[in-house]
Amino acid sequence: MNAFDVLWQYRQAFFDGLVVTCELVILTAVGGSIAGIALEWACTQFGGHLRRGVDAVAFCVSAIPALVILFWFHYPAQAMVGVVVPPFWTALTTLLIINVFAVYRIVADAVQDFPKQYVAIGMVCGLKRTHIIRYIQLPLLLRSALPRWVDQQVVILQTSVFASLIGVEETFRVAQRINSVVYHPVVIYTSMALIFLATAGGGMYCAQILRSKFHRDLSER
Amino acid sequence: MYTLEHVMKSYGANVVLKDVNCRIPLGGLVTIMGPSGAGKSTLLRLLSFLETPDFGYLHLQLDAHHFDSRKGEKPWPKVTLVFQRQFLWPHLTLRDNIALPLKTAGLSNICSRIEDVTNLFDMSSFIDRYPNEVSAGQAQRVALARAFALEPQVILLDEAHFGLDLEQQKTLNDHLIALRDSGVALIVVTHSLDFARKFADRIVVVENGSIAELGGQVILKNPASAYLRRAVGLSEVGSKGC
């Protein structure tokens, strides 16, 4: 039995697992991106203390391993408040928190690195504020932030396998369960590798293309 | 005519301009000179209305239009500024760099304007490249062309000759003179005494955050400011040495 035979025989189970993984990653990507951008916007608007606070939390979240945060939410946090949350939502909350602060950091860095001179040029050339945002700031910020954003979503996809440890029926957990039935670890985990190569690898390749396409040499000779 | 009354500008604790009072008539080519850190670029940013004075006020009269720094009115793009560096948007081709301000201004004859400035500034061989694909001199020319295409009455240039070799400097000077002759008032920050000698109709000397001297070519013959005396003295030593 080779990897493709296993994939075919348990296609429904793998498909269900992939759906759960996709739900986790897509909800995290969309929610995290919106909230991360909103957080950066709020910090720009209200500045000072808010930014310092958000920076401190972002630092802590990026320093603590995802697995520790996941387990903290799964056991102590729920015990403290006396609630039982389904594992899927616990995993989603963990991934969302990680992604919100990561996207915040990506956008904040892009905004911070943006040369103010480009805006000033637009102003003295008579461009309206909306034109400057639409034609100068947004395209340049997107070019700067997009490759890092894609990389971050790949990290989220890879981190989502930890959800299997708290019982979320995502791809990796499905693979483990199939392995416990058929016991073909080489074949099963090769299948997993192929699935992640196709998804995470595709994302990484996409980020690389974006980086080479958009990260042109911005210096002027 | 620019009128500056008791203009002060500081960045944090660093007072860059202190109590500047002067009138700068428009027309021809005005050079702003002075040692590094004297406040030349800050003065230029004030004249462009990109920055406002902390104290005092700046007034600009352009024909029948009046612009007052206290009222927040901006004279763009009648008055436009060409920066020393990072003067082109890097994600747009040089053609689009010129076209964008024209398009957003809703002008109709954009293509012919671009063709005109492309020919005028001799840019047809590189107009469709990106800013990072051309030399500093070519990029400087495009920035000047973009400003010129907007049909401004005043163009301000910060360190126009920065990073240009002698040939590029000559080309730039030719274009500046052509612009001046076409009726555009130019205000150029420069360290080049030679440029001021050859082309300046008026010279403003900024020293220690204030206007040390302002006048025609005559101030180069009898300099009163310490900076200009040093600069003229050094250039004479240089020419005797040659």
Hey, is the C-beta of A64 within 8 angstroms of any chain B C-beta? no
Give me the percent of chain A exceeding a pLDDT of 70. Answer: 95
DSSP 3-state percent helix, strand, coil across chain A (nearest 5): 85, 0, 15
- B239 against A60, higher pLDDT: A60
pLDDT, position A221: 43
Total residue length of chain A? 221
Helix (H, G, I), strand (E, B) or coil at A123: helix
Q: Which distant-in-sequence residues (6+ apart) come within 8 Å of A221 by Cβ? A: B132, B134, B135, B136, B139
pLDDT, position B224: 82
Spatial strand order in the sheet of B14-24: B14-24, B2-11, B55-62, B65-68
How close, in Å, is residue A150 to chain B by CA atoms? 20
Chain A residues whose beta carbon lies within 8 Å of the beta carbon of residue B131? 220
What does the mean pLDDT of chain A come to? 91
Q: Are B227 and B233 in contact (CB under 8 A)?
A: no
- B189 Rama class: left (phi>0) / alpha (psi -120 to 50) / beta: beta
State the sign of the Cα–Cα–Cα–Cα dihedral B85, B88, B91, B94: negative
Hey, is the C-beta of A119 within 8 angstroms of any chain B C-beta? no
Hey, is the C-beta of A127 within 8 angstroms of any chain B C-beta? yes
How close, in Å, is residue B86 to chain A by CA atoms? 7
Which of A126, A135, A216 has its CB closest to that of B76? A126
Extract the tokens encoding B91: 């994600």
pLDDT, position B240: 54
Q: In the predicted model, is pLDDT for residue B36 greater than 50?
A: yes
Q: Which of A138, A141, A134, A136 is nearest to A118 (CA)?
A: A136
Which of A123, A126, A218 has its CB closest to that of B50? A123
Q: Can you name the residues that pair with B81 across neighbouring β-strands? A: B156
Total residue length of chain B? 242
Which of B76, B132, B147 has its CB closest to that of A219? B132
How close, in Å, is residue A46 to chain B by CA atoms? 21
pLDDT, position B242: 44
The CB density around residue A170, as the number of other CB atoms within 10 Å, is 26
d(CA A142, CA A116): 16
Q: Which distant-in-sequence residues (6+ apart) come within 8 Å of A183 by Cβ? A: none
pLDDT, position B109: 84
Hey, is the C-beta of A217 within 8 angstroms of any chain B C-beta? yes
Hey, is the C-beta of A138 within 8 angstroms of any chain B C-beta? no
Which of A120, A140, A220 has its CB closest to that of B91? A140
- Chain centroid to CA B68: how far? 20
Give me the percent of chain B exceeding a pLDDT of 90. Answer: 16
pLDDT, position B191: 86
A3-214 homologous superfamily: MetI-like (1.10.3720.10)
Helix (H, G, I), strand (E, B) or coil at B188: strand
Spatial strand order in the sheet of B29-33: B79-82, B154-157, B185-189, B29-33, B202-207, B210-215
Please answer yes or no on whether B90 and A126 come within 8 Å at the CB atom. no
Average pLDDT value for residue range A152-179 = 93
Confidence class of residue A157 from pLDDT cuts 50, 70 and 90?
A: very high
Hey, is the C-beta of A180 within 8 angstroms of any chain B C-beta? no
Phi, psi of B58 (to 5 degrees): -125, 130
d(CA A85, CA A62): 24
Residues A10-21 as b/e (b if ≥16 CB within 10 A, e otherwise) read: beebbeebbebb
Give B1: exposed, middle or buried? Use CB within 10 Å, 0-12, 13-18, 19+: exposed
Interface mutation vs chain A, best among B113, B132, B140, most A CBs within 10 Å:
B132
Q: In the predicted model, is pLDDT for residue A100 greater than 90?
A: yes
Model pTM?
A: 0.80
Q: Is the ipTM of this complex over 0.85?
A: no
pLDDT, position A217: 55
Question: Worst-scoring range by mean pLDDT, B9-13, B56-60, B225-229?
Answer: B225-229
Q: Does CATH place domain B2-241 in 3.40.50.300?
A: yes
Please answer yes or no on whether B132 and A220 come within 8 Å at the CB atom. yes
Domain residue spans of chain A: 3-214
Q: Are A220 and B126 in contact (CB under 8 A)?
A: no
- A220 Rama class: left (phi>0) / alpha (psi -120 to 50) / beta: beta
Q: Which distant-in-sequence residues (6+ apart) come within 8 Å of B86 by Cβ? A: A115, A117, A118, A220
Q: In the predicted model, is pLDDT for residue A112 greater than 50?
A: yes
Q: Which distant-in-sequence residues (6+ apart) come within 8 Å of A214 by Cβ? A: A142, A143, A144, A146, A147
Q: Can you name the residues that pair with B33 across neighbouring β-strands? A: B205
Planar angle of CA A37, A42, A43, nearest 5 degrees: 95
Q: What would the DSSP string read from start to end of A38-68?
A: HHHHHHHHH-HHHHHHHHHHHHHHHHS-HHH
pLDDT, position A19: 94
Peptide bond into B25 cis (omega under 30): no
Q: In the predicted model, is pLDDT for residue B236 greater than 80?
A: no
Phi, psi of A72 (to 5 degrees): -65, -45
Chain B residues whose beta carbon lies within 8 Å of the beta carbon of residue A135? 100, 104
What does the mean pLDDT of chain B come to? 86
pLDDT, position A84: 93
Q: H/E element holding A138?
A: helix A138-159
Which of A123, A140, A218 has its CB closest to that of B76? A123
Which of A124, A131, A140 has its CB closest to that of B80? A124
